[in-house]
Structure 1
């Protein structure tokens, strides 16, 4: 074959556009002793493809797919979890005779409500304080990043 034809077929081969007949021509060319020196680098590739063409898969394929019990196992686990949660819920319900959370006078109820709201306010203030800390750290890091990127832009313009 002509060198130009082989080079054209190689380009088509690496672009994935060759037919089976053209690939056979390439394999035949590279298995012959008259390969051009500049194309010698492709000889191992086509030699490997020719040798692998003779291999066949001869192991038997299983026709039955194995049964999967994963779906039933997940259903059983869900039922067991639900049963456990219901048992726990029923054992923790207070009896009807206990008067938890009731106060004898409105002043006592007011004082307890004030304590609860004060505790809630303190916890919210702690959370807000940590958010302010995170915001300050974020501002510091963005200033550093933008200073670095601006200094790189200035250096690249020069």
Structure 2
């Protein structure tokens, strides 16, 4: 009868529905030498918890933080500063058109832009005539309907 109860408790244990008292019964059962052969696979699981309770941390915990990292941070900051100083390249002043091109080239570019603007204006005048044509056409079409 006890073996049947242990099997039910193991099922409840793996379903996470056991109480603390039932878990104590399981720990006590698996700590004995008389464990059923088909349940021996669970023995290390329950014995682990009793062994883990007895483990203690024996090393001393330092209460003051170490300040060695401050030395290394300052060394790293100096290294980054020196690296930046070594590879620093000043930005050249902005280049103006007069520095880049001759006055003749600038004048010819102005003439080309003036010619382009004149042709562009001619094209937009044609669009104005097209817009007037569309308005007039729409007037006749809406009168006939």
TM-score, normalised relative to structure 2 = 0.48
Higher radius of gyration, 1 or 2: 2
TM-score, normalised relative to structure 1 = 0.45
